[in-house]
Chain A
Amino acid sequence: METTNRNKAGALGATPAARTPALASTPHPAGTHRLPDEPLVVIQPAGSAGALNLRELWDYRGLLYYLIWRDVKVRYKQTVLGVAWVVLQPLMMTLIFTVVLGMLVRIPSGRVPYPILVYVGLLPWTFFSSAVSSAGSSLISNSHLITKVYFPRLLVPMSAIGSRLIDLFIAFVILAGMMFYYRVGIGWTTLLLPALILLTTLLSLGVGTLLAALNVKYRDVGILLPVVIQLWMYVSPVLYPASLVPERWRRLYDLNPIVGIVQGFRGALFHEGFDGFALGVTAAVTLVVLVYAAYLFRRVESGFADVI
């Protein structure tokens, strides 16, 4: 053991300095140029931290890309089927729900076949729920980074959501196949889909960031979340069309921001028209949650490294 160690040491030590010209020859700005008049960075107690620094987030977009890429890559690296799971998971869910709810309970699905109705429901829902839960635990699972290096902490929940967005896009490929199979045509409303995906992403970002910030201090959040998500699915029109809800409860039901999203997806894909009220609620909730999440995150982010 001792000898092998020494050998490694020898091989390492033998690397001549001249083999790394990139390091020695790079002329350094600090040595040659004047220092800026204004400090690049001012570090002050957390209370005086200003508004959300969007400029800085933009500067770090490269890191966001790598964090998303890491999450996606690592998630499927050790599974036998790999990325195929992104496709298989919603397909299997669709199959189960089609058998149980579509064929046994016989939930009416209107003019589109039940399997495609439920698949289109699961698409945004799976994205939202998985994005929110992975964003919620993201700060804790990335604590090794947070305690060792600086970058805008907001990138952590953002990357968790970004990696689920990739899954969503892959799941869309299957949707195209299903729509072709069931002969469900698309119309001009389908063009609104990107806007709906953006809305869903922003809502996930708001809720996920909020939960991530809370989870650092109150780990109860992580334990409670799966239960809440489960419950949330049943009060959302994921497995059934919203038309199944009695008319007089509809306004109350629509206060759930997921209703606007899921019905929006169906409206866009099945050319059914949109529910303006539900979408309006979703947009309003998204805005409020995003602003509050940004505020709360900004307030508690200074303590992350000390608390985690």
Chain B
Amino acid sequence: MKPIIKVENVSKRYRLGVRDGSYDTLRDTLAAAVKSPINRLRGRGAAARRETLWALRGVNFDVKPGEVLGLIGHNGAGKSTLLKILSRITWPTEGRVELYGRLGSLLEVGTGFHPELSGRENVYLSGAILGMGRAEIDRKLDAVVEFSGVERFLDTPVKRYSSGMYVRLAFAVAAHMEPEILLVDEVLAVGDLAFQQKCLDHMKRLKQSGMTLLLVSHNMSAIQGTCERSLYLHNGEIAAFGDTTEVIKTYRDVAKRGGGEAAGAIMSGGDDSGVRLVSFTMFGEDGESRRSINFGERVRVRIALRAERRVEAPIINFGFRRGDGVIVCNFNNWYDNFQIDYIEGDCVLEGWLPPLRLVPHYYDIYANVWPRRTSAVGQDDMSRLQPLTWAHFGDFSVEGPPLTDQDGVFQQPALRWELTREDGGRVECDGVDADSLRRAYGEEASLAPPNP
């Protein structure tokens, strides 16, 4: 069958500025123009100061009309970049995409919403931004309002809405788009479980209506349940494409192995400092290097560094970050009063971590090397210093009890529980052991598996 989306050899390169990177000032450009002949003589052109990242490399695939294609991959694998190229927000560096139908994209909930405007006004504005005409919105207004359930507040500015109402109205507008191809980025991850379920149901209805869908999700059960075929991106390249069950299997295998080898940095900066973070390896309790650890596992971490020059009393920190950017935990030799006199040449830093009782999910790994501290502990904060070098090392997954975001980040057992009743009755539990949760879920998992 003729494809509705044809992606041929698409690549995307990002140039990363060394420091701010977001924009140049006129002064920088002028200064660079003056300096560039000198730099060129020294063999240090502008290219030497900029870093590039291939977010996508040689991606080829077709999507058939009426198909629901899943797009999976770890953070930073290029999923969002691919969606942005398909929805024409950004351009590819190489390659070609052909679309044989109108395309709508749902990259966030509430695109174009303005807090000062009323709910009704926002329905029109957001609808227009998503590509609906006025007559179309007029026709759908009642359905949108009913779907969202905010009838009573339709003429209230949305800044006075609760976050739940806001999301519901915004999603209701987006849900009434009728393009031939719809791209959906992780929007399913917003809101509570009931809302996610509603979104999934909605996707199924769209599928029945013949719409071609491209879904990005970290939620494997959602992908498994909605998509016949899936595409797995790994470091900007297609690692697997085809039957969803097979693709998810490959994805899980790669996650478990973590490549087996030490993983190099997927993004780094400060390479001109003479210090470089080379790789990051994670070992499970069995001594195997893995990118998938069990809930509560005691992990050993190995960081390989390369210092071209002698760096006195460096501070090295690393940690894990959740998909939304929240740093979940951080380890730092200086805080732990572990003094490193100096580093030079190839060095290996190893750390034995306490049990990681992280809620099962994906976490990004980052690391930094900082210069020597001059003042005493607590006198200055890290935020005022610039790291000598930094790196991101992709992500790892935590497997275990089916806890969700609503259970927080860490699940720690209490030290002691006690309940006293009016009738004088009393129950207590002392010395809760660390494995209690694993056991509790191990026994009940078959009874009531909560949604992953």
B87 in the interface, Cβ–Cβ < 8 Å?
yes
* Contact across chains for B26 and A44 when beta carbons are under 8 A apart: no
Q: How far is the CA of A78 from the CA of B92 in the complex (A)?
A: 41
**Given A28-B209, A42-B96, do A62 and B111 touch, yes or no (CB 8 Å)?**
no
Contacts of B99 in A (CB 8 A): 39-43
Whether A219 contacts B101 by the Cβ 8 Å rule is no
Q: Are B210 and A28 neighbours in the complex by a CB distance under 8 Å?
A: yes
Q: Is residue B97 within 8 Å, beta carbon to beta carbon, of the partner chain?
A: yes
Whether B210 pairs with A307 at a CB distance below 8 angstroms is no
User: Is A246 part of the binding interface, using a Cβ–Cβ cutoff of 8 Å?
Assistant: no
- Is A148 positioned at the interface, with any CB of B under 8 Å from its CB? yes
Chain A's nearest CB lies how many Å from the CB of B1?
9
Q: State A43–B164 Cα separation when bound (angstroms).
A: 36
Docked pose: A13 CA to B192 CA in angstroms: 10
Stretch with Cβ within 8 A of A (4 or more), from B125-133, B223-231, B356-364: B125-133
Residues 9-61 of A at the B interface (beta carbon under 8 Å): 9-13, 15, 17, 19-24, 26-32, 35-36, 39-46, 49
Q: A11-B149, A22-B143, A62-B128 are in contact. Are A305 and B90 (CB under 8 A)?
A: yes
Q: Is A74 an interface residue (CB 8 A)?
A: yes
Which chain A residues lie closer than 8 Å to B85 at the CB level?
43
Contact between B105 and A66 (Cβ–Cβ < 8 Å)? no
A8 within 8 A of B: yes
Q: Once the chains bind, are A62 and B117 in contact (CB under 8 Å)?
A: no
- Does B197 have its Cβ within 8 Å of any Cβ on chain A? yes
Q: Which of B74-112 contact A (CB under 8 A)?
A: 84-103, 105, 107-108, 111-112
Complex Cα–Cα for A147 and B180 (A): 22
Q: Tell me whether A146 is interfacial, beta carbon within 8 Å.
A: yes
Given A40-B102, A43-B92, A302-B91, check contact A30 B180 (CB 8 Å).
Answer: yes
Residues of B within 8 A of A148 (CB): 89, 107-108, 111
B302 at interface, CB cutoff 8 A: no
Of the four ranges (under 10, 10 to 19, 20 to 34, 35 or more), the interface on chain A belongs to 35 or more
* A247 on the B face (CB < 8 A): no
| B1-14 interface code vs A (CB 8 A; 1 in, 0 out) | 01010100000001
The smallest C-beta distance from B150 to any residue of chain A, in angstroms, reads 11
- In the complex, the answer to whether A39 meets B100 with C-beta atoms within 8 Å is yes
On chain A, the residues within 8 Å of B206 by CB distance are: 23
Q: Which residues of B contact A45 (CB under 8 A)?
A: 91-95
Nearest residue in A to B121 (C-beta to C-beta)?
A: A73
**Which single member of B86, B112, B197 contacts A13 (CB below 8 Å)?**
B197
Contact present for B87 and A149 (CB under 8 Å): yes
User: Is B202 in the interface zone, CB < 8 Å from A?
Assistant: yes
Contact A10–B194 (Cβ < 8 Å):
yes
C-alpha spacing A145/B108, complex, angstroms: 10
Q: Is A216 an interface residue (CB 8 A)?
A: yes
Cα-based distance from A15 to B100 in the complex (angstroms): 34
Expressed in whole angstroms, the Cα–Cα distance for A218 and B25 within the complex equals 5
A63 touches B208 (CB 8 A): no
Given contacts A19-B147, A218-B26, contact A44 B92 (CB under 8 A): yes
Q: In the bound complex, do residue B194 and residue A9 qualify as a contact, i.e. CB atoms below 8 Å apart?
A: yes
User: Known contacts A23-B206, A218-B29; is A12 also within 8 Å of B121 by CB?
Assistant: no
Tell yes or no: B322 within 8 A of A by CB.
no
Q: A66 and B125: CB pair below 8 A?
A: yes
B149 touches A15 (CB 8 A): yes
Contacting pair B23 A218 (CB below 8 A): yes
Q: B88 — which chain A residues lie within 8 A by C-beta?
A: 41, 43, 150
Q: Given A35-B4, A149-B89, do A66 and B23 touch, yes or no (CB 8 Å)?
A: no
User: In the complex, A64 Cα to B97 Cα: how many Å?
Assistant: 27
**In the complex, chain B residues whose CB is within 8 Å of the CB of A12:** 149, 164, 168, 194-195, 198
| Shortest CB distance A258–B (Å) | 25
Q: Residue B98 contacts which of A42, A151, A308 (CB distance < 8 angstroms)?
A: A42
Quick check: B125 and A70 within 8 Å, CB to CB?
A: yes
Q: Which of B116-144 contact A (CB under 8 A)?
A: 116-117, 121, 124-125, 128-131, 133-134, 140, 143
Is B178 at the interface (CB under 8 A from chain A)?
yes
Measured CA separation A9–B87 after assembly (Å):
31
Q: Which A-chain residue is minimally distant from B28 (CB atoms)? A: A218
One of A30, A74, A306 near B101 (C-beta < 8 A): A30
Measured between beta carbons, the chain A residues less than 8 angstroms from B147 are: 15, 19-20
Q: Is the CB of B23 within 8 A of A217?
A: yes
Asked if B100 and A306 sit within 8 Å, CB to CB, the answer is: no
Q: What 1/0 mask marks residues of chain B from 271 to 299 whose CB sits below 8 Å from any chain A CB?
A: 00000000000000000000000000000
CB contacts (< 8 Å) of A150 on chain B: these are 87-89, 105
Q: How far is the CB of A140 from chain B (nearest CB, A)?
A: 9
A94, B399: Cα distance in complex, Å: 71
Note all chain B residues with C-beta closer than 8 A to A219: 23, 25
Determine if B102 and A149 form an interchain contact, defined as CB atoms under 8 angstroms apart: no
Flag B195-223 by CB within 8 Å of A: 1 or 0 each. 10110011001101111100000000000
* Pair B205/A43 contact, Cβ less than 8 Å: no
Contact between A23 and B197, CB atoms less than 8 A apart: no
Also in contact, A41 and B164, with CB within 8 A (given A31-B210, A46-B91, A145-B111) = no
Interface residues of A in 92-122 (CB under 8 A from B): none
Q: Which residue of A lies closest to B108 (CB)?
A: A148
Measured between beta carbons, the chain A residues less than 8 angstroms from B149 are 11-12, 15
* Residues on A with beta carbons closer than 8 Å to the beta carbon of B66: 30-31
- CA of A217 to CA of B22 in the docked complex: distance in angstroms? 9
Q: Distance (Å) between the CB of A22 and the closest chain B CB? A: 4
Question: Which residues of A70-99 are within 8 A (CB) of B?
Answer: 70, 73-74, 77-78
Q: Would you call B175 an interface residue if the criterion is a C-beta within 8 Å of the partner chain's C-beta atoms? A: yes
A307 to B4, CA, bound (A): 30
Q: Is B65 an interface residue (CB 8 A)?
A: yes
Q: Closest residue of chain A to B101, judged by CB?
A: A30
Asked if B146 lies at the interface with its beta carbon under 8 angstroms from chain A, I say: yes
CB atoms of A31 and B65 under 8 A apart? yes
Closest to B202 in A: A23
Note all chain B residues with C-beta closer than 8 A to A149: 87, 89, 105, 107, 111-112, 129-130
Does the CB pair B65–A307 fall under 8 Å?
no
Is B114 part of the contact surface with A, judged by Cβ < 8 Å? yes
Given contacts A31-B66, A35-B101, A221-B26, 18 further A-B contacts (CB under 8 A): A8-B164, A12-B164, A30-B181, A31-B211, A39-B100, A40-B99, A41-B88, A41-B99, A42-B99, A43-B85, A45-B94, A66-B124, A66-B128, A67-B128, A78-B116, A216-B23, A217-B24, A220-B26
The 8 A-B residue pairs with the shortest CB-CB distance in the complex, in nearest-first order: A31-B210, A13-B194, A28-B210, A39-B98, A43-B97, A9-B194, A66-B128, A150-B88
A–B Cβ pairs within 8 angstroms, 10 of them: A9-B192, A30-B181, A30-B212, A31-B210, A31-B211, A39-B99, A149-B87, A220-B25, A302-B91, A305-B84
Chain A contacts to B: CB under 8 angstroms: 5-6, 8-13, 15, 17, 19-24, 26-32, 35-36, 39-46, 49, 62-63, 65-67, 69-70, 73-74, 77-78, 144-151, 216-221, 302-303, 305-308
